[in-house]
Amino acid sequence: MSNAIVIVGGGVSGITSAYLLSKSKGNSVTVVAKHMPGDYDIEYASPFAGANVLPMNLDADSRWERRTWPEFEWLCRNVPEAGFHFKNCRVFRNHKDLVPGTSSLPMDPLFDLDPWYQHMMPDYRELETSELPPGQDSGCSFTSVCMNTPMYLSWLVGQCLRNGVVFKRAVLSELTEARRLSHTGRPADIIVNATGLGALRLGGVRDTAMAPARGQIVLVRNDGPSMLTTSGVDDGSDEVLYMMQRAAGGGTVIGGTYDIGNWESQPCPNIAARIMSRAVRLDPALAGGKGVAGLDVVRHAVGLRPYRKGGVRIERETLRDGADGTGVHVVHNYGHAGWGYQGSFGCAERVVELVNEIRAANGEDLSKEPT
């Protein structure tokens, strides 16, 4: 009899976990979630991401990004319908931002002068002084990818359906309620918790290390040759500057903000004005040299990144099911802040390892598993 696994969460973390778990014929996977691909809601971060790959994990725990990059590169080369394309990326550093203590956040390794990811990202090189925009002290260039996230999420759902995953809508008050939601009709053997920011309020979890990192963006029709980002901006430490061109006509996402603790779901017009003016100052060609007036806006939007103080939580736990007192195996996979896509495969692989540990402890011989 197969393992009944219920994954709670229909964002990139839950669906990538479902995709990898469903590759094993020993697993019957159900995904339950309040929000699914196609929805736009402030409680659902995944559709608001660009998303591109700008490595930002520390070297010590960068397994998540190190394992995801080859998968994305492969998808980009071989699976056009997944909605990826390769793009040049330029990361600019203003050296005053690199002084420790200038930000309340830990230093972002993306802006390191000798970054670990120089050996991972293709075509990495330091920029010549002549290639720097005004106000920037140094920078690097490399090839990355940018995906069209609504398209990629739909593609992932399609891969899961092909592997027999069943998707259901449900709003849970307690994580252990998932035990009764497997499409097999049997109680779930294992629950995977991929509820993102929902982990703050979900019964059985209530992780108070979780907080929103509010991201306001502007989506425009304008196109540019490179994805750009800077180490800081002069408008406060809650604001950031980046732009990325989504694949397959998805438009250019201009950001933004990284405002921890701010739950505001509506775009602020003043912030929007600052986002657009910073973008055209950094890259006048984006708007054909016409300034903000040259930007062709599709929409303004806000997403809440699932930030977790202390970092992502990927681990096993046994919870008591309040209904009958049974111990339930849980694997957590939440708290990816601003890197949920670029770490998605690495994290989901760890979920598979933890699920396999539970299966082995239950006496299953995984070497005999049909593939």
Residue from the set 4, 5, 7, 12 that interacts with ligand FAD by CB under 6 A = 12
318, 28 Cβ separation under 8 angstroms: no
The answer to whether the CB of 312 falls within 8 A of the CB of 64 is yes
Nearest distance from residue 172's CB to ligand FAD, in Å? 4
Which range in 102-110, 166-174, 266-274, 320-328 contacts ligand FAD by CB under 6 A? 166-174
User: CA–CA separation, 154 vs 79, rounded Å?
Assistant: 13
Question: 182 in helix, strand or coil?
Answer: coil
Q: Which residues pair with 315 in a beta bridge?
A: 332
Q: Which amino acid is at 222?
A: N
What is the x/- site pattern for ligand FAD, positions 56-95, by CB under 6 A?
Answer: ----------------------------------------
Nearer to ligand FAD, 26 or 279 (CB): 279
Q: By CB under 6 A, tell whether 19 contacts ligand FAD.
A: no
Q: Does 172 bind ligand FAD (CB under 6 A)?
A: yes
> One symbol per residue from 318 to 347: x for binding ligand FAD (CB under 6 A), - otherwise; what is it?
----------------x-xxxxxxx-----
Stretch that binds ligand FAD, among 164-172, 264-272, 280-288, 359-367 (CB under 6 A): 164-172
Q: Residue 160: which residues within 8 A CB-CB, separation 6 or more?
A: 15, 18, 19, 22, 29, 31, 167
Residue 307 binds ligand FAD, judged by CB under 6 A = no
Which residues 96-135 are close enough to bind ligand FAD by CB under 6 A?
none
Q: Which of residues 342-371 bind ligand FAD (CB under 6 A)?
A: 342
Nearest distance, CB of residue 353 and ligand FAD, angstroms: 18
Show the tokens assigned to 168. Answer: 């259901």
Q: How far apart are CA 333 and CA 199, in angstroms?
A: 10
Q: Report the C-alpha gap between 55 and 67 in whole angstroms.
A: 12
Tell me which residue of 357, 335, 32 sits closest to 177, measured CA to CA. Answer: 32
* # residues contacting ligand FAD (CB under 6 A): 43
Q: Is residue 144 part of the contact set for ligand FAD (CB under 6 A)?
A: no
Instruction: By CB under 6 A, name the one of 3, 18, 28, 35 that touches ligand FAD.
Output: 35
Rg (CA), the chain: 21
By CB under 6 A, is residue 204 in contact with ligand FAD?
A: no
Phi/psi of residue 149, nearest 5 degrees: -60, -40
3-class secondary-structure state, position 177:
helix
Residues at the contact surface with ligand FAD, assessed by CB under 6 A: 8-14, 33-35, 43-46, 48-52, 170-172, 194-198, 202, 215, 217, 255-256, 303, 305-306, 334, 336-342
